[in-house]
A and B are shown apart, each in its own frame.
Chain A
Amino acid sequence: MWLTSSSVGRKLIMSISGLFLILFLAFHMSMNLVAIISSEAYNAVCSFLGSNWYAVAGTAVLAAGVFVHFAYAIILTLQNRKARGEQRYAVSENQGSVEWASQNMFVLGAIVIIGLCIHLSQFWAHMMLPELVGSEELLLTADGTTYAATDGAGLISYTFKNPINVVLYVIWLIALWFHLTHGMWSAMQTLGANNKTWMPRWKCISNIFATVVCAGFIAVVFYGYFA
Chain B
Amino acid sequence: MEKLINITLKVWRQRGPQEKGAFETYQLENISTESSFLEMLDVLNEKLVKERKEPVVFDHDCREGICGMCSLYINGHPHGKDQEVTTCQLHMRRFNDGDTITIEPWRSAAFPVIRDLMVDRSAFDKIMQAGGYTSVNTGGIPDANAIPIPKPVADEAMDAASCIGCGACVAACKNGSAMLFVSAKVSQLALLPQGKVEAAKRVKSMIAKMDELGFGNCTNTRACEAECPKAVSISNIARLNREFICAKLKD
Whether chain B is bound by chain A comes out as yes
Checking A88, A95, A192 against B238 with a beta-carbon cut-off of 8 angstroms, the contacting residue is A192
Interface status of B175 (Cβ within 8 A of chain A): yes
| CB atoms of A103 and B218 under 8 A apart | no
A-contact bits for B191-212, CB 8 A (1 contact / 0 none): 0000000000000000110110
Interface status of B89 (Cβ within 8 A of chain A): no
Q: Considering only CB atoms, which chain B residue lies closest to A15 in the complex? A: B241
A-contact bits for B43-85, CB 8 A (1 contact / 0 none): 0000000000000000000000000000001011100010000
Q: Considering only CB atoms, which chain A residue lies closest to B226 in the complex? A: A95
Give the number of chain B interface residues (Cβ < 8 Å).
53
Which label, helix, strand, loop or mixed, suits the secondary structure of the B interface? mixed
B-contact bits for A122-162, CB 8 A (1 contact / 0 none): 00000000000000000000000000000000000000000
CA distance in complex: A184, B104 (Å): 35
CA distance in complex: A190, B216 (Å): 14
Q: Considering only CB atoms, which chain A residue lies closest to B105 in the complex? A: A87
Interface status of B31 (Cβ within 8 A of chain A): no
Within 8 A of B (CB), among A82-139: 82-93, 95-99, 102-103, 105
Q: Considering only CB atoms, which chain B residue lies closest to A11 in the complex? A: B217
Interface status of A2 (Cβ within 8 A of chain B): yes
Check A91/B221 contact, CB under 8 A, given A103-B174, A189-B237: no
Check A83/B216 contact, CB under 8 A, given A95-B223, A189-B237: yes
Give every chain A residue within 8 A of B174 (Cβ-Cβ): 80, 84, 103
CA distance in complex: A153, B168 (Å): 54
| CB atoms of B104 and A90 under 8 A apart | yes
**19 CB < 8 A contacts A-B:** A7-B211, A9-B248, A11-B217, A80-B219, A83-B110, A83-B217, A84-B174, A91-B102, A95-B77, A95-B172, A95-B227, A97-B222, A102-B221, A105-B219, A182-B220, A191-B241, A192-B238, A194-B235, A195-B239
Give every chain B residue within 8 A of A11 (Cβ-Cβ): 217-219, 241
Within 8 A of B (CB), among A56-103: 76, 79-80, 82-93, 95-99, 102-103
Give the number of chain A interface residues (Cβ < 8 Å).
44
Interface status of B244 (Cβ within 8 A of chain A): yes
| CB atoms of B104 and A98 under 8 A apart | no
| CB atoms of B211 and A6 under 8 A apart | yes
Q: Considering only CB atoms, which chain A residue lies closest to B211 in the complex? A: A7
| CB atoms of A89 and B73 under 8 A apart | yes
Give every chain B residue within 8 A of A8 (Cβ-Cβ): 207, 240-241, 244-245
Check A84/B73 contact, CB under 8 A, given A93-B81, A102-B222: no
Within 8 A of A (CB), among B1-48: 10, 21, 23
Interface status of B230 (Cβ within 8 A of chain A): no
Checking A83, A97, A193 against B226 with a beta-carbon cut-off of 8 angstroms, the contacting residue is A97
Interface status of B153 (Cβ within 8 A of chain A): no
CA distance in complex: A88, B177 (Å): 15
Least distance between B166 CB and chain A CB atoms (Å): 16
Give every chain B residue within 8 A of A12 (Cβ-Cβ): 241, 245
Q: Considering only CB atoms, which chain A residue lies closest to B109 in the complex? A: A85
Q: Considering only CB atoms, which chain B residue lies closest to A96 in the complex? A: B226
Least distance between A174 CB and chain B CB atoms (Å): 20
Least distance between A115 CB and chain B CB atoms (Å): 21
| CB atoms of A194 and B238 under 8 A apart | yes
| CB atoms of B245 and A191 under 8 A apart | yes
Known contacts A6-B211, A190-B220; 14 further A-B pairs (Cβ under 8 A): A9-B248, A80-B174, A80-B177, A83-B109, A83-B217, A84-B175, A85-B107, A85-B176, A90-B10, A91-B104, A186-B219, A192-B242, A192-B244, A195-B238
